[in-house]
Chains A and B, each alone.
Chain A
């Protein structure tokens, strides 16, 4: 068996001093294999976003080791692409120039990078909007621009941190559909961080459930829904059963999180 694309080994992240600081991520270990779609799910405050920053090389772990294609990462890695939770289009650039941004940083000439960016603009369904600026687009379209931009850099591993968190439910489902379609087309290995159970079940092969503070790996759920999938998968009985299974795991963690936030 070939080495996993991403391997996370005993990763811990603490903020502040050893005695009184916050332990955000505690001794997490897991692998993501080539071509897999894995979701990490957990209640708010479980250290999901901290883990995301560490996987992207933006934040060093306090201890433990993260390797991509066998390479221990010490900073942003060329094989890893990140899509952020926040609004992250460059507002002064048009859609095409946003998507071409990583290619521009690599020093690729204008006509070639526009050609290459065009493919990803079409892939996310934004054909006809190339010359528009982010302020002229809806939130869902802007998030698609960011996904296209990250894909344009041809990452072997796509990391997404709650990319649909700010969108309404219908847009989320349809965007999930788009992500499924892209994943099936590109065989893109993807790690999605989310707090939405339906989103995780709709999209994933495996789901890692995290505990509330400190963030630990609670359980790994395999999703046996057939592929190719689309947004209609949410109506199937298997879907409901998987959602219920994860909810029973998550419920306890979510109520711990809620109790903690009420105390503080």
Chain B
């Protein structure tokens, strides 16, 4: 633990320097006049835009909508991914037969399905939820399947030798043994669900963060657009940090092998 802290300490300075250098380069570019002033606004304009976003009630209403869409997407896509992943992980046959499909379809651009989802679910929040759900289904199913296979076989033998029922095996052995890969799946799923939802909002929408960004862009309100981008990326990064932290903590509870 001590060495880990020391490592983090040693990293803080170079990280700070990198941030300062990037900001300085941005400011230099903004002041140089090489690009349109409004496209690369100076830092003070960005701060004004950022604060402007944070104090507008409009922003919070749209943030709530995006979050609701994201949660619904994660619930739907996550549940489907969990069930499919458990089945694939439990059956070697199913895994051989169907898991390559997930591997091939997973990385395809889901946004191409958006017109279809609009036809199926309308232009409102439902089509965005569906977009997010389709996106997060694949990484969650793949992580869960790998998680099931990663469960130490001796723990399954322990459960069987004590004659645990199927539901007891799932709740008391599989799920706790899989907590790290599950959280990792949630992290990956969250990332792509957010991409799906925001991308869908930028296409055809009247609400949500993606819509706000496109709206600011169409009005050529660059500071506001940058403000929204900073907030969106910041929120996504914070959620990622939290989920990764949880996954690492869960991983630490594993026994040390001798």
Contact = CB atoms under 8 A, between A and B. Distances in A.
B258 A84 contact: no
Nearest to B161: A82
Count class of interface residues, chain A: 20 to 34
A78 B258 contact: no
A35 interface: no
Given A105-B168, A135-B253, A135-B256, A58 B155 contact: no
A235 B231 CA distance: 74
B154 A105 contact: no
A101 B168 CA distance: 11
Given A78-B163, A139-B258, A84 B158 contact: yes
Interface in A133-148: 133-135, 139, 142
Contact of A105 (B162, B176, B253): B162
Contact of B154 (A87, A93, A135, A139): A87
Contacts of B165: 105
A58 B161 contact: yes
Interface in B131-153: 152
B160 interface: yes
Given A105-B172, A135-B255, A88 B154 contact: yes
B161 A134 contact: no
A9 to B, nearest CB: 22
B176 A89 contact: no
A135 B160 CA distance: 23
A142 B158 CA distance: 14
A135 B256 CA distance: 6
A166 B154 CA distance: 15
B162 A102 contact: yes
Contacts of A101: 158, 162, 172
B254 interface: yes
B164 interface: yes
A81 B157 CA distance: 12
A84 B154 CA distance: 8
B255 A142 contact: yes
A105 B254 contact: no
A105 B155 contact: no
B154 A91 contact: no
A159 B23 CA distance: 67
B257 interface: yes
Given A76-B163, A105-B168, A88 B158 contact: yes
Interface of A: 56-58, 75-76, 78, 80-82, 84, 86-93, 101-102, 104-105, 133-135, 139, 142, 153, 166
14 contacts: A80-B161, A82-B158, A82-B161, A87-B154, A87-B257, A89-B255, A90-B173, A90-B177, A91-B254, A105-B165, A105-B168, A105-B172, A135-B254, A135-B256
Closest 8 CB pairs of A and B: A86-B154, A82-B161, A102-B162, A92-B176, A88-B154, A139-B258, A135-B255, A91-B255
Given A105-B162, A105-B168, 7 more contacts: A57-B161, A87-B152, A88-B154, A90-B158, A91-B255, A134-B255, A135-B255
